[in-house]
Amino acid sequence: MLFEELNITTPLRNALDDLGYKEATPIQEQAYPVVMSGRDMVGVAQTGTGKTFAYLLPLLRNIKFSKEKHPRPKILIVQPTRELVIQLVSELEKLTKYMNVRFAGIYGGANINKQKDIVYNGIDILVSTPGRLVDLSATGVLRLIDVQKFVLDEVDEMLNSGFKAQLTHILDLLPIKRQNIMFSATLNRGVDDIIQEYFNDPIRVEIAKHGTPLEKIEQSAYMVPNYHTKLNLIKYLLHDDEVKKVLIFAARKKWADRLYEILSEDFDGEMDVLHSNKSQNYRIQALQKFADNEFRILIATDVIARGVDVDDITHVISFDTPDFPENYIHRIGRTGRADKKGKSIALISQIEEEYLEDIEELMQMEIPKLDMPEDVEISEILLESEKELSNQRNNLVTIKGRESRGAAFHEKKAKNMKENLGGPGRRNPKKTKPVNRAGRRRKSRKK
C-alpha cells in the first residue's frame, strides 16, 4: 500500500517523500489503524520489516502540539540498547522534519545531569533504555505520569538482555490509563508474560508468522541415540571441507565449554567459544575474528549468538536442541544471510525428541532427517540422564503407535530392531527402543 493511502498528515508525507519511501511495508500498513485506534497492540514481524515506522507514523500522526512550557513526555519508547535509542532518535529527526515536536533519547553511560536538564526543559517524546529510565525517574526529575502511549520495542531482545525487572518497574510507574504498544521479532514466554500482565486485550498484528523458515536455508537433522554419538558425528561433520564457517550452538554455558574442550583435541586453533561468562571485550573480539575468518568454528550459547550478524556463515549446527523452539529459528537465521545460501544441521538425541516436535510444530514443517553416516561410530556410553530415559523406556510393557510426528522415526527403529538390521551404522539398536510418550511433559534439561 502506498503511504498516500494511509491517512497521514502532510508534514509526515513530505518527510517520507524526502526519505524516498513510497510504500508502506506490511507491518506498517497493518499496525497503522490499530495504533491509531488507541487499542493496545502487539506487533510481530521479522527483523528489517520496518517495525519502527509502524508505530512512529501513527503516533506522530496523532500527536498534538503541546502548549506547555515544560511538557512531560506523553509518548515513551523503550529500546533495549543505547545504539537502538540513538537510531530511533535519528529516525524521529527525519520523520519530524516538518513538525514541531520535542523529543530526546537517553541511555546509560552518558552524563545523567545533561539528561536531567533535557527532561526538565520538557519533551513530548522520550526514547530510553530501561536502566537509564529507571535511574532518571528515581531522581524525581523525570515523571511519567503524563505518558499516554507506551512503546516497548524489540521486547524479545530486552528480555534476553535481562531487563525484566526494570521493565516491570517502569510499567508500574506509568499511569493506568495508557495505550500499550509492543513490537518484537519473536514471541516467547517472557514476552507473553508481559502481555498477560500489563496489556489490555491487545490486538495482534503478525506478519509472516515468526515460524516461517527462511527459504535460503537448507535444513536437516540427524537422529542420534546419545550424547557421545553426537560427539562422534560432529567431529565427522567438521572434517567436511564444505563446512567453511560454522556456528555451533550449545544449550548451556557449561556444555559449550565442554564441547569446546572435547573438539579442541581435533580442531585446535580453528575454534573459539562464546557465552555470557566471557567479558564483553572478549566477545566483541572473538566475533570480529570469526567475521575476519581467523578461525572457522565458533561455539556459542543462544543468548550470545542472537545478535551475531556475520555474513558468510556456511553452516549452523545445533549440537543441543533448543528447548524453546523460537531459538531454533533464531539459530538457523545466523546463516543464509545477505543472499547467500546456508545449511542448518540439528543433532537430536532421544532425550531431545520432544523439543524437535515443538520446533516442527512451530515451523509447520518437518525437518528432513539424514541417515547417520556409515563412518560415524555409535557410542554405547550413556549420560546419567540418558540412562534414566532408557530405563523408563525399557520398563514400558506395551508399545503403542504414536500419533506425534516423531512416530516414523520410532517405527523405523522398531523395524530395524525386529529384523536386526541395525540401520546404516547403527550398531546398537537396543539403545533405541520405541516408546509411548503420550502425556509427556516438558521437563527441564539435565545432564
Q: Which does 327 bind (CB under 5 to 8 A by kind): ligand ADP, Mg ion, none?
A: none
Q: Using CB under 5 A, which residues numbered 151 to 180 contact Mg ion?
A: none
Q: Please say which residue, 47 or 277, places its beta carbon nearer to ligand ADP.
A: 47
24: contact with ligand ADP by CB under 6 A: yes
Q: Please say which residue, 87 or 416, places its beta carbon nearer to Mg ion.
A: 87
- Cell digits of residue 372: 547417520
Q: Which does 152 bind (CB under 5 to 8 A by kind): ligand ADP, Mg ion, none?
A: none
Least Å from the CB of residue 283 to ligand ADP: 22
Least Å from the CB of residue 21 to ligand ADP: 4
Among 8, 15, 25, 286, binds ligand ADP (CB under 6 A): 25
Among 14, 37, 47, 394, binds ligand ADP (CB under 6 A): 47
Reduced to 3 states (helix: H, G, I; strand: E, B; else coil), residue 305 is: helix
Task: Give which of 298, 302, 276, 277 is closest to 286, Cα–Cα.
Answer: 298
55: contact with ligand ADP by CB under 6 A: no
Residue 135, C-beta contacts closer than 8 angstroms, at least 6 positions apart:
108, 112
Count of residues in contact with Mg ion, rule CB under 5 A = 1
Q: Among the candidate windows 21-29, 210-218, 347-355, 432-440, which touches ligand ADP by CB under 6 A?
A: 21-29
3-state secondary structure labels for all residues of 95-124 = HCCCCCCCEEEECCCCCHHHHHHHHHHCCC
Q: Using CB under 5 A, which residues numbered 373 to 392 contact Mg ion?
A: none
Q: Is the Cβ–Cβ distance between 320 and 352 less than 8 Å?
A: yes
Neighbour tally for 263: CB within 10 Å: 21
58: contact with ligand ADP by CB under 6 A: no
301: contact with ligand ADP by CB under 6 A: no
51: contact with Mg ion by CB under 5 A: yes
The strand ranges marked E within 250-400 are: 271-274, 297-300, 315-318, 342-349, 369-370
Least Å from the CB of residue 339 to ligand ADP: 17
The separation between the first and the last C-alpha atoms of the chain, rounded to the nearest angstrom, is 52
- Cell digits of residue 391: 530405563
Task: Give which of 41, 20, 15, 160 is closest to 93, Cα–Cα.
Answer: 15
Q: Please say which residue, 28 or 327, places its beta carbon nearer to Mg ion.
A: 28
Q: Is the Cβ–Cβ distance between 282 and 309 less than 8 Å?
A: no
Count of residues in contact with ligand ADP, rule CB under 6 A = 13
Among 31, 32, 42, 52, binds ligand ADP (CB under 6 A): 52
Secondary structure (DSSP) of 137-170: HHTTS---TT--EEEE-SHHHHHHTT-HHHHHHH
Among 34, 40, 44, 50, binds ligand ADP (CB under 6 A): 50
Q: Among the candidate windows 46-54, 206-214, 285-293, 303-311, which touches ligand ADP by CB under 6 A?
A: 46-54
Per-residue mark of binding to ligand ADP, 136-155 (x: CB under 6 A) = --------------------
CA distance 298 to 8: 47
Q: Among the candidate windows 50-58, 123-131, 315-323, 341-349, which touches ligand ADP by CB under 6 A?
A: 50-58
Residue 250, C-beta contacts closer than 8 angstroms, at least 6 positions apart:
256, 259, 299, 300, 301, 319, 320
81: contact with ligand ADP by CB under 6 A: no
Residue type, 134: V
53: contact with ligand ADP by CB under 6 A: yes
Reduced to 3 states (helix: H, G, I; strand: E, B; else coil), residue 299 is: strand
CA 284 to chain centre: 19
Q: Please say which residue, 88 or 259, places its beta carbon nearer to ligand ADP.
A: 88
CA distance 267 to 177: 58
Q: Is the Cβ–Cβ distance between 370 and 221 less than 8 Å?
A: yes
358 Rama sector, left if φ>0, alpha if ψ -120 to 50, beta otherwise: alpha
Q: Please say which residue, 52 or 179, places its beta carbon nearer to ligand ADP.
A: 52
Least Å from the CB of residue 374 to ligand ADP: 44
Least Å from the CB of residue 377 to ligand ADP: 45
Q: Among the candidate windows 17-25, 32-40, 164-172, 289-297, which touches ligand ADP by CB under 6 A?
A: 17-25
CA distance 199 to 365: 31
Q: Please say which residue, 51 or 253, places its beta carbon nearer to Mg ion.
A: 51
Least Å from the CB of residue 164 to ligand ADP: 21
Summarize as ranges the residues that interact with ligand ADP (CB under 6 A).
Answer: 21, 23-25, 28, 45, 47-53
Q: Which residues contact Mg ion by CB under 5 A?
A: 51
